[in-house]
Structure 1
């Protein structure tokens, strides 16, 4: 399993290069750093770069996902505990701050920490001291703290959800990562990188690249899941490709897309209905064929897709670009579907 320090940071866009320069400057000092960015933008890779370019690079780089632990477990994870401090604590446990002594502790999703944990983290950043859970002995550590989050911490502090004094201590350097949609120049560069790795995993002799339609579709998409989503989409495309010598051309952005996809319950259904009505007020939903016995799955799906395409084209007077918007597809995705169903 790869770790952040094993993975390459790739890009050439101005927004990306500015972040790399800022990271290199911040790596030189041993003070706390905050890394802010949407999900999938590579916050853990920047944190690793901060550590391995710093004077602490030979010491431990310890990581903890704060959102994955309950309040009580998080404090035990971070600060350790003494034997008998709570039910199940049969022996003393060293916490992540002690493990990171002399090195760096990366706290992902730091905004999810409880106020109690934040108070203890503040003490460590100010004085380098803490106590294990259930202990009285004051311990001293030398740790550089890197925190990451995808929320606006000043707003969280104003709302009473994050300590202002801790925010002040952590915000010596704040590195805000641009989303992938702001790094248009990097999309195909990253896609080829992920494609080459997926081709290697499939034991292909080489990576044949992408078709022109797929390259345009990759560039047109808004990538709400950022680099992580791009990686998944490219891997899916390569793994589903049948010919290693033909450019990869089938792009599946939503693997859940199906006429039989279960409808969300509760408020999610209401939100989805509202959004659909706003985007496509005259949308005619495809009618699912009634079956009395066994049926051919692929044939049935093809009929539903073709029927939807024909109705959408008619509703938009056969203007393909308007039809693509109507169906929430890119122009090139629509063209691919029209070719697939012999509607061109």
Structure 2
């Protein structure tokens, strides 16, 4: 049984977020299934918790399961249980999540990942309040309220034949759609302050000295593809890296992988070349593999060539042309070259090209 924790409070004051909370308060008391839709990191599980604890089942069991964490067979068994001997290793009867959540609520995350067989059994539970365990023949009656969530567009999946239309109809008694963080701009600093103070306490700092104006601008202007979960990680990382609660946070570490020394992914051509060379070596033991025909042909060089210097000259020319094209704005140049802002800064420092560029103005 999951317990509601005070630290799980939903925080926000934007109109779109307040509308969601009002929607939850309206639908939670009804004994109907609820479907929650939102991008990753928007707080779908917290909304599901709120739906349970605002319902008449608040003092009963609240069971959760991520449908993407199990394969089809295990998911069916975990949801509906199985009888002894139903399959190899099933030595005794197992109660599934629906039985354990009887008279309470069951939250199923990543619902779009379920198979058609599981969807059929889910439909039967919603319609008739009964199901059969795997390997069983007698119906099991339950009174379990289903709360489901997904980050997929279920109507589109239904049109593609990947999700049952009849199950979607039953689940969609009412749909709560969560706004992404980029649509809740006025909530960003409220959440950031909350996460920063909690992290400062965890680090046993005497206080949290806030964010500089530069850090606030970066937090507010970032598009947050990972939403609230990503914001929490970014803020906690940035507070921890300061190392002192008396110093305001000025550097926001958006990407912990960001480094000029980060390994670059191989191109498809390079991967094919390596595979071809490996196969050649295996087919002809003791013989050196010949260069693959898929690799780019070397230029016809008639004069001695310093490869390292030639590569540097090429990078410098590419950077200079891109800077000129983007009017020497570093942010636009980084985007133009498919780099992060900090990766571009690393290259510019390496080749002493920072003078005359603008890294702050859009």
Q: Name the residue aligned to 1:323.
A: 330
SS at match of 2:23: helix
Seen in structure 2, the aligned counterparts of structure 1 residues 129 and 324 have a Cα distance that, compared at 3 Å, is same
Per-residue CA deviations over 1:232-277 (Å, capped at 9, x if unaligned) read 100110111132111111111111112332333566999xxxxxxx
Q: Name the residue aligned to 1:201.
A: 202
Contact 2:323 2:333 in 1 (8 A): no
1:50 partnered with 2:51: yes
More off after superposition, 259-268 vs 17-26: 259-268
Separation in 2 of the partners of 1:183 and 1:269?
43
Seen in structure 2, the aligned counterparts of structure 1 residues 90 and 314 have a Cα distance that, compared at 3 Å, is closer
Separation in 2 of the partners of 1:72 and 1:105?
19
> How many residues matched?
303
Q: Name the residue aligned to 2:225.
A: 224
Q: Name the residue aligned to 1:123.
A: 124
Seen in structure 2, the aligned counterparts of structure 1 residues 147 and 248 have a Cα distance that, compared at 3 Å, is same
Separation in 1 of the partners of 2:155 and 2:213?
44
Q: Name the residue aligned to 2:41.
A: 40
Separation in 2 of the partners of 1:319 and 1:265?
31
SS at match of 1:90: coil
Per-residue CA deviations over 1:14-58 (Å, capped at 9, x if unaligned) read 110111110110101010010000000000000000000110000
Separation in 2 of the partners of 1:242 and 1:40?
27
Considering only aligned residues, what root-mean-square deviation do their CA atoms show, in Å?
A: 2.9
Q: Name the residue aligned to 2:73.
A: 72
Separation in 2 of the partners of 1:36 and 1:210?
32
Separation in 2 of the partners of 1:269 and 1:36?
40
Contact 2:158 2:164 in 1 (8 A): yes
Contact 1:5 1:49 in 2 (8 A): no
Seen in structure 2, the aligned counterparts of structure 1 residues 116 and 234 have a Cα distance that, compared at 3 Å, is same
SS at match of 2:108: strand
Seen in structure 2, the aligned counterparts of structure 1 residues 236 and 68 have a Cα distance that, compared at 3 Å, is same
SS at match of 1:94: coil
1:18 partnered with 2:19: yes
Q: Which runs of 5+ in 2 are unaligned?
A: 272-306, 357-362
Q: Name the residue aligned to 1:110.
A: 111
How far did residue 326 of structure 1 move? 1.3
SS at match of 2:236: helix
Q: Name the residue aligned to 2:183.
A: 182
Q: Name the residue aligned to 1:297.
A: none
Q: TM-score, normalised by structure 2?
A: 0.77
Q: Which runs of 5+ in 1 are unaligned?
A: 271-288, 291-303
